[in-house]
Structure 1
Amino acid sequence: MKFWATSSAALLALNIVGALDAHGWRQQSIYQLLTDRFSREDDVEAPCNLIARQYCGGTWKGIIDKLDYIQGMGFTAIWISPVSANLPEGYHGYYTTDFYQINPRFGTAQDLKNLSAELHRRGMYLMLDVIANHVAVPRRSKFRPSDGTWGVFNQDDDFHKLMWCRDWDNQLEVEQCWLGEKGDIALPDLNTENPKVVLELQKIVHWLVQEFSVDGLRVDTLKHIRKSFWPDYEKAAGVWCTGEVLHGDPAYTLPYQGSALSSVLNYPLYFTLRRAFQSPDGFMIELTDMILRIQHEAVDPTTLTTFLEFHTVPRFAHETSDEALRLNALAYPFLGDGIPITYSGAEQGYSGGEDPLNREPMWLSKFDTSSRLYSFVARLNAARALA
């Protein structure tokens, strides 16, 4: 593996030519998809056992084949699953093993480059999901960093000592504990106080962006690493980043914008938006208050990323059968402040419940462009583009 920099200072001095800045991303509309569940390159309407939590066959080539479908709704960027090598159970991309190896279940490195190139040919942009907080190991296995499974992270002090999260109000514990206590997979926490680990993570994200011509990043588990780690990470990436801070209190979430990354996912608005539109007697006053509070407290509310659903939460259509409420809720991210994200399947009325039932394969919808919701989303994007 070759790198263009041998020190942190030299690495951070390199920028990605032509990358979209915050203003550029403010103009975009993002379509999020799970690579494994979006499109198979053989175009077979294969069954997918959601409960089994296994690969169902979606690939980067499959995405390329369906870009007309995405672009037909007016989306200008796609957010895809993490691309690094994963455990066999990691169909979603979040069970990283070696950060420098590409997940062969999604295709080859050239396939990913082809996807990026085709997006750019169309005037669209590629957002990559990235992980810096942890790697993954089956709970039944002994975790030995020195066995080489985790690539450059091969020493005991590359990881925090095993400690499961107990006190979610203890920020130091949140930043150093391991995730995955209740599942079959444990997520050993990288020691991001170790200068070696910090530099390696910067090299990894820089390589990913450069190698695959990535335009922006969605950063996983932001609150699980100290805030001071993130500005240099974003500089190393050289592209605009929005990060996941899974917390509904704007006093906790919003300070990560600016002090950590350029943008965060607007979870405070998400929780309030869902409550407001779940029933005719929804909490509209609460929604109004939250909008005003975010406008007042956020560094830049127009570059927060806004959403109604994605792959970690139940579909909104699972929570209410009222079509008017569903349409209004779906419309809000396009019409309010912020950069809208739409999770694939919303335009086909998918209504899956808790994970893994909210990860339905898109090919079973036959990518129907005649559906009412598909046209509705296209009109929302068209209206936003004129604003």
Structure 2
Amino acid sequence: MKKLNTIILLLILNISFAQVQKIEPEFWWSGMKSTELQLLVYGKNISDLKPEISGDIQIKEVQKVENPNYLFVTIDTKGIQPGKVKLNFKKGKKITQSFDYEFKSRENNSADRKGFDSSDVFYLLMPDRFSNGKTRNDFPYDSSEGVDRNNPNGRHGGDIQGIINNLDYLNELGVTTIWSTPMFEDNEPVYSYHGYAQSDYYQIDPRYGTNEDYKRLANELHKREMKLVKDYVTNHWGSKHWIIKDLPSKDWIHYWENGENGFQRSNYRMTTQFDGNAAKIDAEGCMDGWFDTTMPDMNQKNPLVLNYMVQNAIWWIEYANLDGLRVDTYSYNDKEGIAEWTKRIMNEYPNFNIVGEIWMHDQAQMAYWQKDSKIGAIQGFNSHLPSVMDFTLHDAIGTIFKEEPSWDKGMIKVYENFTNDFLYPDIDNIMVFAENHDTSRFNEIYPNIEDYKLALSLIMTVRGIPQIYYGSEIGMKGDKSKGDGDIRRDFPGGWQGDKNNAFTESGRTTEQKAYFDFTKKLLNWRKGNSAIHKGKTLHYVPQENVYVYFRHDENQRVMIVLNNNQKAQKLDLKRFSEGIQNHKSGKDILSDKEFNLNNELEIKGKTALIIELK
């Protein structure tokens, strides 16, 4: 009897040692342009099993890696029809496990989906700090950090339902596109609210909701003719990611032998990506160094890693019907790897759009990263990245409204920024902004509405895709020097019991209403203006800290005057005859005031005019 029990126990152990626990992606779609699908199969000693698929589907390759708990199974999906196929795993001739693997039907015109463009206005929000729509998901049983609103660096409880509850507010404001910071599961024990140390790329964090909730958010946006852009992180994963905790191979990440648990911090010198004089050790120190201790640096040179990321991004585009991606720390990735990642996604969706975070302070260096850059071509490099972020304009906005004008200070900085537009292959596909979730809030730097109006008028009328940061439209402040939590405060009214509900007109203070009403008027005016979306720019060297420029196309001509001087200024309109042409008058869309454009124009101090020429 004892011997029989031992045999039974050994049989049980043998089964448990070779059992599939996870298959990613868990389903796919028929009719994709790329006909190869690589399944990551995970389970204890799973490499002992042999995969088979029913029907005429061909397994092209089965790859084993250092870790016996993984198999990478590449199948040919050409001609596969929607439906389920049988995926079997065999030990010898015996099937030990069997799964129904589904190929779904794609949405109509999925491959031709149109991404965001310069007709859009982005609203960047942090879901944890925007609105708590479901308090019951504040403390999920399997999450390591629950809600504590008293901790500026902790979870506060905002979620997907909170965003959905306030979509009409954003629609009224004039926003067309939501960019939310990451919503994938981030199960770090502390400081997990920002979402950039993700622990599962196929699951929405339960504190935000479910995958179905995220899909519902996209659907609700589309009902309002609005768009959803996912914040995607390719450079690093979180230390609690289930794959990181049981690596397929050591080269899945950049593992530093001399560092604790493979860690070595990046030197953050992104110029080493293209600096022909850079020492190899410095280049590796940037690209292979970790962004932080909880963020292992991913090795996109490993084709299995890269393929996993490509398929995951495509999976979310299809599943949630996304309108774009914003890629975090784009220029820290392996240069060739991230270019391949981008190219493969854009090949699948030719009209899609992806914007990369290129946090650099030189236009040539940023332009290097845009698709078809002539600067990149000097080194034989093409990132295939459609859009980059205009950080040099952001840098200028951070100082121009408070410094004394001179040869190189004041509005001349903005003018000089645009003189380098020729460096970019697609100048309309540049994201412009005054602030984001990593910078001090604009209203903290400039605590008066006059400067806010000037900055917003600039952002909304220059070339590119404008992005605003949640809460600034009601005057929210935040000081980066006090920590990230201060620039990521809770939106007032997003939580039950909030004394001030700025989501409603009746709940706004007088100051909040002034900010909101100005923003609403400007954003909604922008929606219908082709010259602002795709027109050409004609600008004039600022004088007396007054910047004048025109946006124009064959249908429309708009004159923008930004007086950054404390005093009123009189402009001799003869100087601007090239821009005014034969127009005799115009209407300022901000004040609804008519202006005669024959001789002279007077503008109050610290004031913007956006004049539609008649």
Structure with bigger helix share is: 1
Displacement after TM superposition at 1:206 (Å): 0.7
Identity of aligned residues (%): 27
- Bigger Cα displacement from structure 2, 234-243 vs 30-39: 234-243
How many angstroms apart in 2 are the aligned matches of 1:321 and 1:109? 39
Query: Is 2:199 the counterpart of 1:97?
Result: yes
Bigger CA drift: 1-10 or 201-210? 1-10
Q: Which amino acid aligns with 2:360?
A: H
CA distance 1:97–1:234, change in 2 (3 Å): same
Cα distance in 1, alignment partners of residues 243 and 186 from structure 2: 10
Show the counterpart of 2:364: 251
Hey, what's the Cα distance between the residues in 1 that align with 2:386 and 2:247?
A: 27
Superposed displacement of residue 7, structure 1: 4.9
1:201 maps to 2:309: yes
Pick from 241, 262, 272 the counterpart of residue 354 of structure 2: 241
- For residues 363 and 149 of structure 1, the distance between their equivalents in structure 2, rounded to whole angstroms, comes to 38
Cα distance, 1:152 vs. partner?
A: 9.0
> What runs of 5+ residues in structure 2 fail to find an aligned partner?
1-25, 30-34, 39-73, 78-105, 137-146, 257-263, 274-282, 372-381, 494-499, 530-614
The match for 1:56 among 156, 159, 163 is: 156
2:166 corresponds, among 66, 83, 94, to 66
Provide the C-alpha distance between the structure 2 equivalents of 1:72 and 1:265, rounded to a whole number of angstroms: 26
Q: Which of 364, 372, 378 pairs up with 2:520?
A: 378
Partners of 2:134 and 2:251 in 1: CA distance = 44
**Corresponding residue number in structure 2 for 1:191:** 299
The equivalent of 1:27 in structure 2 is 119
Whether contact under 8 Å (2:164, 2:220) holds in the other structure is: yes
Stretches (4+) displaced over 6 A: 8-11
Measure the CA separation in 1 of the matches of 2:334 and 2:243: 26
Distance 1:350 1:151 in 2: 40
| 1:117–1:167 CA distance, 2 compared to 1 (3 A) | closer
Summarize deviations over 1:158-206 as a string: whole Å, max 9, x none.
00123322372433332111111xxxx4311001111111111101111
Q: 1:40: how far off?
A: 0.9
Distance 2:486 2:150 in 1: 9
How many equivalent residue pairs? 368
Match of 2:400 in 1: 276
> Structure 2: which amino acid aligns with 1:97?
S
- SS at the partner of 2:117? helix
1:142 matched residue in structure 2: none
1:1-387 alignment runs, 5 A limit: 1-4=26-29, 5-7=35-37, 16-21=110-115, 25-42=117-134, 48-49=149-150, 51=152, 53-88=153-188, 89-137=191-239, 148-150=242-244, 154-162=248-256, 163-166=264-267, 168=269, 169-171=271-273, 172-173=283-284, 174-180=286-292, 185-237=293-345, 238=349, 239-258=352-371, 259-260=382-383, 261-279=385-403, 281=405, 283-293=410-420, 295-354=421-480, 355-364=484-493, 366=501, 367-369=503-505, 371-387=513-529
Gaps of 5+ in 1: 139-144
**Does the Cα contact within 8 Å between 2:354 and 2:387 map onto a contact in 1?**
yes
The TM-score with structure 1 as length reference comes to: 0.88
**Is the 1:50–1:357 Cα contact (8 Å) retained in structure 2?**
no
Specify the code of the residue in structure 2 equivalent to 1:230: I
CA contact (8 A) 2:400 2:410 kept: yes
Could you tell me which residue of structure 2 aligns to residue 141 of structure 1? Answer: none
Amino acid at match of 2:212: Q
Amino acid at match of 1:118: E
Give how far 1:42 is off: 4.7
- Root mean square deviation of aligned Cα: 2.6
Q: In the alignment, residue 241 of structure 1 is paired with which amino acid?
A: I
Distance 1:298 1:25 in 2: 16
The 10-residue stretch of structure 1 (115-124 or 151-160) with the greater mean CA deviation from structure 2: 151-160
Give the direction of change, closer, same or farther, for the CA distance of 1:252–1:227 in structure 2 (3 Å limit): same
CA offset digits 1:189-232 (Å, max 9, x no partner)? 00111111111110111111111111101100001113333343
Alpha-carbon distance, 1:307 to partner? 0.7
Deviations 1:88-143 (A, max 9, x none): 432111111121222111001111111111111111111110001111228xxxxx
How many angstroms apart in 2 are the aligned matches of 1:42 and 1:3?
Answer: 30
3-state secondary structure, aligned to 1:217 = strand
**Structure 1: how far apart are the matches of 2:299 and 2:410?**
42
CA contact (8 A) 1:98 1:150 kept: no
User: What amino acid does structure 2 have at the position aligned with 1:263?
Assistant: S
Q: Shift in Å at residue 149 of structure 1?
A: 4.6
Say if 2:441 and 2:487, in contact at 8 Å, map to a contact too: yes
SS of alignment partner, residue 184 of structure 2? coil
Deviations 1:8-65 (A, max 9, x none): 8989xx99334224xx522111111101111111599x983353x1111111111111
Q: 1:309 to 1:7 in 2, by over 3 A?
A: same
Q: For residue 186 of structure 1, give the secondary structure of its aligned residue in structure 2.
A: coil
Cα offset, 1:248, TM superposition: 1.1
Deviation at 1:151, TM superposition (A): 8.1
**Matched residues in 2 for 1:165 and 1:290: separation?**
29
Read off the aligned partner of 2:204 and give its amino acid letter.
Answer: I
> Are the counterparts in 2 of residues 40 and 57 from structure 1 also a CA contact under 8 Å?
yes
Supply the distance in 2 between the matched residues of 1:321 and 1:100 (Cα, whole angstroms): 41
| Secondary structure of residue in 2 paired with 1:310 | coil
Cα offset for 1:234? 2.9
Structure-2 separation of matches of 1:254 and 1:157: 31
Query: Measured at CA, do residues 194 and 307 of structure 1 come closer, stay the same or move farther in structure 2, by a change above 3 Å?
Result: same
Classify 1:37/1:271 alpha carbon distance in 2 versus 1 (closer, same or farther; 3 Å). same
Question: In 1, are the aligned partners of 2:134 and 2:161 still within 8 Å (CA)?
Answer: no
CA distance in 1, matches of 2:339, 2:113: 17
C-alpha distance in 2 between matches for 1:322 and 1:198 = 47
CA distance 1:121–1:150, shift in 2 (3 Å): farther
Cα deviation, 1:277-316, whole Å, max 9, x if unaligned, reads 23464521122111111x2111112110111111111101
Task: Confirm or deny: 8 A CA contact 1:50 1:359 kept in the other structure.
Answer: no
Task: Find the structure with the greater CA-based Rg.
Answer: 2
TM-score for the superposition, normalised by structure 2: 0.56
Whether the 8 Å CA contact 2:370–2:386 is kept in 1: the answer is yes
Task: Tell me which of the two structures has the higher relative contact order, counting C-alpha pairs closer than 8 angstroms and 6 or more residues apart.
Answer: 1
